[in-house]
Structure 1
C-alpha cells in the first residue's frame, strides 16, 4: 500500500511542476504585456501623435470656422489628452448662433466638433445693413454679408416686439413662411404690434403679431378664393376680408372669414 502510494505521488509531481511552470509563464506574459503597454503609452504621449493634428468642424453655416476655433481655445499642435471637452463646449456655446454641439476625440490625433446652430428666421434692416435674426430672437451683428431666403424686417427694433414676431414666424407653415418677402412694423396707438406683410405673389397682408401664425395658416385658402389676376390687401387684423388695389371695399364672402 505504501509503495503504491509513493508511486502515485511520484507520478503526480511532473504534472504539478508542469502546471506551475505554465502558471508562471502566464504571469510573465501578463507582466511583459503590461510593461510593453506602458512603454507604448509613454512613447505615444511623448510623440507628435499625442498632439492635435486636425480640428474637424462640421454643421456650422452661420458661425465661421475661424470664429469657432478662436473662442474654443483649440489649436493644432496642442496636447490632445489635455483637452477638457466640457470647457471647450461651454466656450463655443457663447456664440449666439450655436444652439448645441458635441466635441469628440478621434484617435490618434483629431478633434471633431459637431455644431448645431439656431435657425435664421428673418433679416433685420438696421442702419442700412441687413442682419440675420435667429430663432431665439438674437440679432447677429457683423453678419450682414450672410445671404439667406428669409423675410426682410423693416421698422423693427431689438425689443420684445421683435422677439414676439420671431416666435410667431417659427409657427408659420414652411410653405407660407417662404412666400413672405417683407414685413413692415406699423405700430398704432391701439396696437403696437400692427404689421404689414408683403407676399411674393403680389398681395399684402394687414395683421397683428400676436395672432400672426394662427391667421397666416389660412392664407392659402383665402388666396384660393380670389381672382389670381387681382392683387390687393388681405386684412387679418380682426376678421378676414380682401381689398383690391384697383378698387377698394371689395369684401370677401363670409365663407372666407376666419
Structure 2
C-alpha cells in the first residue's frame, strides 16, 4: 500500500516538473523572439569604430590647439603685430606728437608689448607731462591702438622770478619757454601757493567763461588778504577771493548781462556791481 502511494506521488512530481520545464522553454523562446541576440562579431566591430572615432577626436583637438599656438607665436614675432594705426582722442592743448612722445607709443612698436606694459607707460607719461591728467590705451584692431587723453587744461602763463610757467587747471605749474594766448597771471612773485589756489578755482569754470578772462592780478589788502582782480576781455573788472572765485564766477554771465555799462563786479563778499567812476559802491 505504501508503495502504491509513493508511486502516485512520484508520478505527480514528474508531471509537474515536466510542465515547469515546458513553461520555461516557452518563455525563453518568446523572449528570444522579442529581442534577438546580436552577433558577438558585430559588437566587437562597434567597439572598434567608437574607439577610432574617440581617438580621432582627441588627435584633431590636439592638432587645432597646437596650430593656434603656432599661429599666435608667428603673429607675435611678425610685422603683422606692429602698430600701423594710432588714434589719439580727447587732446586739445596737446598735439598727437606730444602724446606719442610722452607715452612712448608710436607706429612701429609691437602691439602686444604696448598692451602688456600699458599701465607702466601711462604712469611714466603722467610723470613726464603734468598736462596729462589721465590716459587709456585700447587695442582696436590687430594693428591699431587708441589713446584716450584727459588733459589738465592749460589756463595761461605766469612769470615768477623771471621764469615763465604754464599754469594748469589743477594748480600745477610747468616751466615753459614762452607765453600763450591764455590768461596772464600777474604779481604772483613769491606767491606760488596763491597762484596754484587761484588756478585750481578758475579751472572749475566752463570754457566759455574762462576764455573770457584776459588776466588775473594778485593784489591783497589788509581787509582782503586773498584778493585777486580779474580783467575780462569784454571790458569788465572783477574783484574776488582766490579761495572762492571759481564758484562765484559761475554767476558772471547773468550779472554782466544785467549791467547797462561796463564796470566793476565785486564778488569778494556777496555779489554786486557798479559802473566805472561810480561812487555807489
TM interval, shorter chain, is 0.7 to 0.9
Where do 5+ consecutive residues of structure 2 fail to align?
A: 1-27
1:185 aligns with 2:215: no
1:95-114 matched pairs, under 5 angstroms: 95-114=129-148
The residue aligned with 1:212 is: 245
How far residue 130 of structure 1 moved from its aligned partner, in angstroms, is 7.6
How far residue 144 of structure 1 moved from its aligned partner, in angstroms, is 4.0
SS at 1:93's partner residue? Answer: helix
* 1:77–1:188 Cα change, 3 Å: same
Where do 5+ consecutive residues of structure 1 fail to align?
A: 252-258
1:197-208 matched pairs, under 5 angstroms: 197-208=230-241
How far residue 28 of structure 1 moved from its aligned partner, in angstroms, is 2.0
**For residues 26-66 of structure 1, what are the alpha-carbon distances to aligned partners after superposition, in whole Å with 9 as ceiling and x for unaligned?**
12211221232233223323422233434433322323333
* 1:146–1:40 Cα change, 3 Å: farther
Q: Is the 8 A contact 1:124 1:156 kept in 2?
A: no
What TM-score comes out, normalization by structure 1 length? Answer: 0.76
1:248 aligns with 2:281: no
Distance 1:215 1:136 in 2: 18
Q: Is the 8 A contact 1:242 1:250 kept in 2?
A: no
1:141-152 matched pairs, under 5 angstroms: 141-142=175-176, 144=178, 147=181, 150-152=182-184
Distance 1:75 1:215 in 2: 43
Structure whose alpha-carbon radius of gyration is higher: 2
* 1:13–1:5 Cα change, 3 Å: farther
The residue aligned with 2:150 is: 116
Distance 1:112 1:119 in 2: 21
1:140 aligns with 2:160: no
* 1:175–1:64 Cα change, 3 Å: closer
**For residues 201-238 of structure 1, what are the alpha-carbon distances to aligned partners after superposition, in whole Å with 9 as ceiling and x for unaligned?**
42222232223245434445544554x1x332233334
Q: Is the 8 A contact 2:93 2:153 kept in 1?
A: no
Aligned match for 2:62, one of 20, 23, 31: 31
Q: Is the 8 A contact 1:54 1:110 kept in 2?
A: yes
Aligned match for 2:265, one of 234, 251, 254: 234
How far residue 22 of structure 1 moved from its aligned partner, in angstroms, is 1.3
Q: Is the 8 A contact 2:163 2:175 kept in 1?
A: no
Distance 2:110 2:62 in 1: 29
Greater helix content: 2
SS at 1:35's partner residue? Answer: helix
Q: Is the 8 A contact 1:234 1:243 kept in 2?
A: yes
Aligned match for 1:67, one of 75, 82, 98: 98
Q: Is the 8 A contact 1:185 1:194 kept in 2?
A: yes
1:19 aligns with 2:40: no
* 1:195–1:29 Cα change, 3 Å: same
Aligned residues: 245
Instruction: Please give the root-mean-square deviation of Cα atoms over the aligned residues, in Å.
Output: 3.4
Q: Is the 8 A contact 1:57 1:113 kept in 2?
A: yes
